[in-house]
Chain A
Amino acid sequence: MEITRQQLGTGSREEFRSRQLLARQMLSGELDGPELDQYVEERVLTTTLDKAARWALSNAMFPATFGLACCAIEMMSIVGARVDVARFGFEAFRASPRQADLLILSGRVSIKMAPVVRRIYEQMLEPKWAIAMGACSSSMGVFNNYAIVPADKFMPVDVHVPGCPPRPEALMHGILKLRTMIQKRPDLDWRTRYGGRGTEEFVESELQVDPAAAHTIGVPGGTARGTTNA
């Protein structure tokens, strides 16, 4: 959704005064007819609820506080003053995966760490996204040996940010790419995005939730609508 800003009127003092009077009339209900139509056209923006929800979603991501290696230092610096990611609403790093909706894999993932990372990703609530930051988590980089595993092998990754480590600006660029992606892709849960439906693993005896309901997203236009049932 594109929002452009433009100045109302010419900006002169008289113009401002007349608009102020118009607004006062509007609030007291004295405005009607073509004047009311014009007033509404100037100030009201129409969109679909779906688009508005996705716009809000894409501009208020909570990344999980999860640093793996040296890239984490660069990841920390994106919330600093120089490249202030708070401008895009990404600055609230959450200490719990339950509250986060973005996992930034900042560093190398060893084969011993991979199950832990995967579990953290599973614990995050839908809709959720993941960024593989740096060479190690994308293609193993300089640690291309027996101990490291690329992130694509064990979890879905939405954006790869190259670099060793990437500069904070590069990570910011990746975050903005992800933002564009969230705004454009309507299918929000990761199994739908990457064709993973039907690969859910449940313990049959402990199954209390309808697997279809596990994908329920409380956003209009989400892929699976419905209520969670016990």
Chain B
Amino acid sequence: MPDATGLELIAQEVREAHDGAVLDTTFFRERASLLVEPDSVPEVLEHLRGKGYRFLASVHGLDYFPEEPRLGVHYELLDMSAVDRITVKTRVPTEDPHLPSVTPAWPTANHQEREVYDMFGVIFEGHPDLRRILMPEDYEGHPQRRDFPIGGEAILFTYNEPQLPGWWE
């Protein structure tokens, strides 16, 4: 991990290269992360690749409900020679969840972006084949969003039924 100072140096460098791209930096429990503008994700990742972070270890989505903008996408980068990690985060609102795809530059992101699309409904512009990957093709809704009903069956021996009436709806 870059330490807190190292993170600020990286952030400053990215700011100089891409005006207005970096919104915030966080250094929490030895994890360094950059919060960036949604449209500048590919440029920032490309810049970090030039600094040695050549491996995109993971792309994952999450829902910050009730904070706005609600949806987040995280890109975990790894520098394999320096054994150094950095996280690039971005946030998009549910009304307009569009984000440029990084699949053309990082082929490993293909299935992971499809999963984020499937579970959270983030639309990656420029993805070669943006289809559902886990849920059936005719499924409606994005089940990992916080406002999506848990689903399931009301069964006789649901132990917490009195506390949470109708939890499955």
Contacts and interface: CB of A to CB of B under 8 A. Distances in A.
Nearest to B149: A146
Contact of B155 (A112, A139, A145, A148): A139
* Prevailing SS type, chain A contact patch: loop
Contact of A145 (B136, B139, B150, B158): B150
Given A146-B143, A146-B148, A112 B153 contact: no
Contact of A140 (B136, B148, B149, B155): B155
A189 B135 CA distance: 33
* Prevailing SS type, chain B contact patch: loop
B152 A140 contact: yes
A145 B151 contact: yes
Contacts, number: 30
Interface string B132-169: 00111001000100001111110100100000000010
Contacts of B143: 146-147
Interface in A109-149: 111-112, 139-140, 144-148
Nearest to B135: A112
A146 B150 contact: yes
A111 B139 CA distance: 10
Interface of A: 111-112, 139-140, 144-148, 150
25 contacts: A111-B135, A111-B136, A111-B139, A112-B134, A112-B135, A139-B153, A139-B155, A140-B152, A140-B153, A140-B155, A144-B152, A144-B153, A144-B155, A144-B158, A145-B150, A146-B143, A146-B148, A146-B149, A146-B150, A146-B151, A146-B152, A147-B135, A147-B151, A148-B152, A150-B153
